Structure 1
Amino acid sequence: MNSMYRTAAVTALGGLLLCSTVACSSSDTADSASSSPSVSSSAVEMTPVAAIKRAAGKNEKITSLSYTMEGKVPGEGAVSGDVAMSVKPPAMRMKMTGESEGEKEEIEILLTSDGMYMGGDSAAADPEMNGKRWIKFPFDSFDKATAETGENPLGGLSSQVDRNPAAESGALALAEDLKKVGEETVDGVKTTHYTGSLPLSAMKAELKGLDAETKKKREKSLKAYEDMGIDKLTMDMWIDGDDLTKQFRTRGTTKSGPLDMTVKFGEYNKPVEIKAPPASEVVDLAEMMNGAEAS
């Protein structure tokens, strides 16, 4: 498979992991924050912890969202992306720009109920694609490869589609040094900026009490950070007047260098429809690999 696609897969995974920080506050905490008296946060000066928990409570209820991400992924260089995703049912559409062999590349990624599609207009120029625009990575092929090798060939990207980065920003409430930075405007929206840092060990401690499915997802996310060599994350969160996360930044030090990823959130709970590409425009990964082996 062309290195462009391998690099895009790794970069996409890194972007999703880095912009989607692990939510370690329990659902009970989120529920209590969201069920508190309906008083505007601008009318009452809340503590930083209360503000983060209130936003986390609202973010947990999001069913779909759009966001942009921009930053640096260790080992992959600069990355930027434009994403629309549905949390229930899980689906995602991403257009991203990254680096492959020192050159800037653009790629599109679709995640649907039957697998991941990677490609777009630029893919058709690849001789291996025979003029088609998309490569399909069926989810069952990930499972088979994982069973045989012990590793998912795309590092677990398929498991990231139902992760809501806005909801997961609630981890910041765990930071012992959490503080309010001040009032700032993000894309024309007035927000309050908070910052803090916390070790992964604190995130692990908060896994107790979570339901089995949520705990499993967050354990995978924590392991991904550990595999990068990260032991502490610095987070910045900008909350708007409706107590929704407008922007979230994650920084840390990995064994491959520093990471720095910023997510800016756009629309919430707007319909997101993502369909698989026409079969005539799709090359199945298994067929491509079998063809390469035969030649």
Structure 2
Amino acid sequence: MKTSVRRIRRSTHRRALGAGLAAVALAAGAVSCSKGDAEESPKMTPAAAVAEAAKNSDDITSLRYSMSGEVPETGRVKAEASMRMEPDLAMSMKMTALDEGADGTVEIRLVDKAMYLGGNPEMAKEMDGKSWMKFDMSALGDDALGGGAPGASQAEQNPAADSTLLTGSKDLEKVGTETVDGVETTHYKGTVPLDTLRDSLKDEDKDVREKREKSLEQYEDMGIETLTMDMWIDGEDHTKQFRVKGEGDKGPLDLTITFLDYNQPVTVKAPPAQDTFDLAEMMQEMEEG
């Protein structure tokens, strides 16, 4: 039975990790579907514009986005997702790891403090025909999962928190005006050394510091030392698109996230119980046995 668990975890780990990283790498503030004037105010410096967009991220309660690019270990990915932060955390994402062929598509759902992985025929073959695997965060400890459910901490990360990272850039510049998904935006770019950004956290209040530390940890775990960031801000000072790049010890990170809407209703349902392989129940049966 233990061998079966390891085999299932191997078959799902890479896809789950990629999905989790996709969620955390949103790294942008609030989104707007506005098509208002994106012309920068004469008094609005690049630093002020990015700071204003970061401030507006506090208004996010839910968002929908598309993503494409490359993440360490998983390789090229594309995904679409919806995420709700209030009144409780929930997420639904469909992701394809383009370098894995037919075996590279997975769906991830986070609802009621449980993560579900499914949507892949190869997974069903390993789980007696059941098409979903459940990771119950409250019932399974790190030891049982061999370090935690793949991508769990990343999936629980509020993606809006990363929007503040670009405010730490010392070489921030305005690139120009561009149309993104039919919306007129202003494009900004800068680099962010993670050690410098971490040193600056001591001057922030507790809430801001905790949010930024969680964001930094995700990139530090990839072995990335410096991030290159691009942000496209619309005429209402909301982030419409975000790109983050870096070289890690397990490969390159290069993700572009385009926000489709925000603060719209997001409903995520758990898969049917009869189609779900509950890892917590299996581990309990093993202990009792």
Q: Which TM-score tier does this pair reach, normalised by the shorter chain? A: 0.7 to 0.9
| Amino acid of the structure 2 residue aligned with 1:65 | L
Q: Which residue of 2 aligns with 1:160?
A: 155
| Amino acid of the structure 2 residue aligned with 1:163 | N
Match of 1:16 among 10, 17, 23: 23
1:87 Cα shift?
1.1
1:6 aligns with 2:13: yes
Q: Which residue of 2 aligns with 1:200?
A: 194
Alignment CA distance shift 1:102-1:291 (3 Å): farther
Higher mean C-alpha deviation, range 61-70 or range 40-49 = 40-49
Kindly report the root-mean-square deviation, in angstroms, between the aligned alpha carbons of the 2 structures: 3.0
Q: What is the DSSP-based 3-state SS (H/G/I as helix, E as strand, rest coil) of the residue aligned with 1:208?
A: helix
Q: Which residue of 1 aligns with 2:77?
A: 79
Given that 1:91 and 1:162 are in contact with CA atoms closer than 8 Å, whether structure 2 keeps it comes out as no
Take 1:173 and 1:92, find their aligned partners in 2: how far apart are those partners?
27
Q: TM-score, normalised by structure 2?
A: 0.83
Q: Which residue of 2 aligns with 1:244?
A: 238
Given that 1:116 and 1:158 are in contact with CA atoms closer than 8 Å, whether structure 2 keeps it comes out as no
Match of 2:276 among 262, 282, 286: 282
- Superposed CA deviations along residues 169-201 of structure 1, whole A, max 9, x for unmatched, are 222122111000000011111100000001002
Take 2:209 and 2:74, find their aligned partners in 1: how far apart are those partners?
29
Q: Percent identity?
A: 44
1:16 Cα shift?
2.7
- Superposed CA deviations along residues 40-75 of structure 1, whole A, max 9, x for unmatched, are 874723100111111111122111000111111122
1:49 aligns with 2:56: no
1:262 aligns with 2:256: yes
Given that 1:18 and 1:250 are in contact with CA atoms closer than 8 Å, whether structure 2 keeps it comes out as yes
Given that 1:181 and 1:193 are in contact with CA atoms closer than 8 Å, whether structure 2 keeps it comes out as yes
Given that 1:20 and 1:163 are in contact with CA atoms closer than 8 Å, whether structure 2 keeps it comes out as no
Q: Which residue of 2 aligns with 1:170?
A: 164
Given that 2:91 and 2:110 are in contact with CA atoms closer than 8 Å, whether structure 1 keeps it comes out as yes
- Superposed CA deviations along residues 20-56 of structure 1, whole A, max 9, x for unmatched, are 37x9xxxxxxxxxxxxxxxx87472310011111111
Segments of 5+ residues of structure 1 without an aligned counterpart are 24-39
1:5 Cα shift?
1.5
Match of 2:224 among 226, 230, 233: 230
| Amino acid of the structure 1 residue aligned with 2:104 | E
Alignment CA distance shift 1:43-1:218 (3 Å): closer
- Superposed CA deviations along residues 118-171 of structure 1, whole A, max 9, x for unmatched, are 102x348722322322111000244x225996x33425x245334134x52222
Segments of 5+ residues of structure 2 without an aligned counterpart are 1-7, 30-36
| Aligned pairs, number | 274
Take 2:109 and 2:145, find their aligned partners in 1: how far apart are those partners?
26
| Amino acid of the structure 2 residue aligned with 1:255 | D
Given that 1:134 and 1:283 are in contact with CA atoms closer than 8 Å, whether structure 2 keeps it comes out as yes
1:97 aligns with 2:96: yes
Take 1:42 and 1:3, find their aligned partners in 2: how far apart are those partners?
49
Take 2:127 and 2:72, find their aligned partners in 1: how far apart are those partners?
29
Higher mean C-alpha deviation, range 223-232 or range 258-267 = 223-232
Q: What is the DSSP-based 3-state SS (H/G/I as helix, E as strand, rest coil) of the residue aligned with 2:201?
A: coil
Higher mean C-alpha deviation, range 174-183 or range 204-213 = 204-213
Alignment CA distance shift 1:113-1:126 (3 Å): closer
Given that 1:53 and 1:173 are in contact with CA atoms closer than 8 Å, whether structure 2 keeps it comes out as yes
1:210 Cα shift?
4.8
| Amino acid of the structure 2 residue aligned with 1:164 | P
Take 1:62 and 1:224, find their aligned partners in 2: how far apart are those partners?
21
Take 2:139 and 2:60, find their aligned partners in 1: how far apart are those partners?
30
Q: TM-score, normalised by structure 1?
A: 0.81
Given that 2:16 and 2:150 are in contact with CA atoms closer than 8 Å, whether structure 1 keeps it comes out as yes
1:62 aligns with 2:60: yes
Given that 2:40 and 2:186 are in contact with CA atoms closer than 8 Å, whether structure 1 keeps it comes out as no
